[in-house]
């Protein structure tokens, strides 16, 4: 948990480096997520950090919050009444509180999350994944290229473990064949998941894999090598985040 929380704090600091210099006009810049500006990406993180803090500490208040939740777009729309400075302050406060609450949890403690339940370790990993993914939208809106870090291993891990969810949320049967993932980390080292010797394999840069499982890039625009029908079926619908199936991003050739 200590390592995960340190990496979540570091990912938060990385996002803050993008946010600190923004002008009021910059906060309204459109991001690749249709209809969402930078402000919407950050209010989304803030709202779900608040929800995460309640899920980990106050089940009654968490249940009340969920009862009033309708959609992520509704959350974003409601927050558009706030000045950008307040959205930023909200995120800073909610993230600090989330880090504090999660630091009190044992890694194996079960935490409710919408219609799922996960270990506290996976819970923190999910917050890191969300921070990185929405941070990518902010970076894209600003035309900034972020240097990938070893923290991507957490995103890759939750992306791999969410493989069954991508099929279940679409009510599709998951192929029975196992899939092996063999990725190259940003420092050039190897990272693997899944049974060795599996016929179905996903190979390539860890960054590309993470962009696909968070639906920040179309599979066709990556250097990933997909071998086998089960691997192909998974990567075409991969979804590391909870919630309704995302629409994903269009290939560059279709934009």
Read off the CATH number of the domain in which 36 is found: 1.20.120.450
Q: Which domain holds residue 14?
A: 2-142
Tell me whether residue 250 is in a domain. Answer: no
Chain center to CA of 86: 23
Cα–Cα distance for residue pair 10/231, rounded to 1 Å: 32
What is the total count of domains within the chain?
A: 2
Q: Which of 243, 247, 248 is nearest to 75 (CA)?
A: 243
pLDDT of residue 255: 54
138 & 160 share domain: no
Is the same domain home to 222 and 126?
no
Query: Are both 134 and 165 inside the same structural domain?
Result: no
Q: What is the pLDDT of residues 11-52, one digit of tens each?
A: 999 999 999 999 999 999 999 999 999 999 999 999 999 999
d(C-alpha 86, C-alpha 79), whole Å: 10
167 plus 64 within the same structural domain: no
Q: Round to whole Å and give the CA distance between 98 and 105.
A: 11
pLDDT digits (tens, 9 = 90+) for 68-100: 999 999 999 999 999 999 999 999 999 999 999
Q: Which residue has the tokens 């870090």?
A: 149
């Amino acid at each position: 948990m200590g390592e995960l929380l340190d990496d979540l704090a570091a990912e938060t600091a990385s996002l803050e480096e993008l946010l600190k210099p923004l002008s009021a006009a910059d906060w309204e810049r459109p991001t690749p997520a249709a209809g969402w500006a930078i402000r919407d990406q950050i209010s989304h993180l803030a709202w779900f950090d608040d929800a995460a803090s309640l899920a980990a500490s106050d089940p009654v208040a968490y249940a009340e919050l969920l009862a009033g939740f309708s959609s992520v777009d509704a959350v974003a729309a409601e927050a558009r009444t706030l000045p950008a400075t307040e959205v930023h302050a909200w995120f800073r406060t909610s993230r600090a509180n989330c880090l504090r609450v999660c630091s009190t949890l044992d890694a194996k403690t079960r935490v409710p999350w919408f219609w799922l339940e996960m270990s506290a370790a996976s819970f923190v990993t999910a917050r890191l994944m969300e921070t990185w993914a929405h941070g990518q939208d902010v970076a894209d809106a600003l035309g900034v290229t972020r240097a990938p870090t070893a923290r991507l291993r957490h995103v890759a891990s939750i992306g791999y473990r969410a493989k069954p969810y991508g099929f279940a949320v679409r009510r599709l049967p998951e192929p029975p064949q196992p899939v092996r993932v063999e990725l190259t980390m940003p420092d050039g080292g190897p990272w693997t998941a899944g049974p060795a010797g599996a016929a179905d394999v996903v190979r390539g840069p860890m960054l590309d894999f993470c962009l696909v499982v968070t639906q920040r890039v179309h599979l066709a625009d990556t250097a990933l090598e997909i071998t086998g029908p089960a691997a192909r079926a998974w990567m075409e619908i991969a979804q590391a985040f909870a919630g309704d199936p995302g629409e994903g991003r269009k290939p560059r050739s279709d934009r």
